[in-house]
Structure 1
């Protein structure tokens, strides 16, 4: 028996669920008695293969002990159905084929169809329990590996999330902004809309960093983020693209131009109150407008993209500051890190 302290998903005789499928009650009784004597507690017996789907859903057996030949169906077709269910649920059900057949050809056929073990009925009394112990060990290893893979998958997902989400402001990072920029360009192209890209820089960030320990500095960034978000629509995209930078994407009608005046009035030289006291915030702003009013109706998508790209690059150094790359090109990642 495996050491359950090493693997909380280890299968034991007390936790294992066994389903016996055989059309003869005598065979069911013989197999069930062997399992009971071996210490197995959770056992179900069914005669009709038509009931198997119901019992798989309600009983969730770890092991199925299956007769080969039954009226109207054979064990191999049931095994194929079990394997299909396993694939969907990303699990593994251990299948024993218990039959009167004991020739090599039958055994090979059973294994090719996905059967895990093959026991002649004449050997049930001597071989079933040792084989069950081996099945327990293999299932425990499978569940342990699945648990490990799930943990790694979750860890990778968390790492990816950290790469696109700033832990201080809870806003997307530069990588997330690049992805949003690509989508926004596609959307603006399709809808004949304008696109504004704004950059807000905390110009006295270095001074704040020199004066404040890390926790108070983080609180300043968090309060600044809250104030910044109140100035924009839910449909606008706001990201923290650097330790001292925030970028905003806004789509608008082709005849509209979004102004930075309200941002400057609301954020520049204001005293930000936190539990650590008041802190003066100074900002610089930049703005790039990609207007669709100059788009020619006969332009194709490639020409439109080229125009948008030139507009973004020519409209002040904003696109260079953000190091934007055009959709479908390799993105250029920033080397600057957020605060530790």
Structure 2
């Protein structure tokens, strides 16, 4: 991504805020900046300029930021595109994270953020988005390979009966799903600072049972003793890395007919490493240091990947903040 070539739209009802952002971003090399003071002007600017990035103030009269974002996402869906959207808020409570997630924003920043911080956020969003596109492509390739290798089943009554889906257990019909407080997580990271950061995010999510392991073998031992509902795994660890740990977890789970959602967290921004992680069985991928917003999105996606109909997958995680 070439920051200098971006087209950016700033949406804020306060003239001072719009101009401050325009000047701050201009000093960082972004020159193609448009502004709008309300949702109507913003939607017209989206149609006219097709901005790559939109900064949206949360609190605006008549149509607020989250409602505007939902309208922009509808336009994205029509064009099969994805505009990077950052929700700007003065709210420093946990509600800011929840509002950003529920609105469809890619990320959120406090309103006092300067140009450099905004650019760092844009680059982070872009890296995450490209990583997710690669994941989708790899999953589609695997799906196509599986479909190509499957043999058609003869249309006999026995085959039809065998292919009929079993009725969903009563517990699986609960669309609310369990809350994060009911779940257990094994967090694997050999760096104390990173582990503490992830622990704080898990506390924010209100996951009460968080077990920390400093290396892969310790994590595997904990999982074998008491399997976790999901795992956060660092990529780079001494002796046994996150890829090998994932393979060992998958082997252990297969023998017991279970599947543990795994989110890999790494400082290595390499597309090759993403491919290695997916092939090993990693469900989702995040770069260090992850925000609570991105971590929750990836945890949600990991649960949905295994069993979309389960209560765990159907739980709206943002609502628990």
Give TM-score scaled by structure 1 length: 0.37
Of Structure 1 and Structure 2, which has the larger fraction of its residues in strand? 1
Of Structure 1 and Structure 2, which has the larger fraction of its residues in helix? 2
Give TM-score scaled by structure 2 length: 0.39
Q: Which has the larger radius of gyration?
A: 1
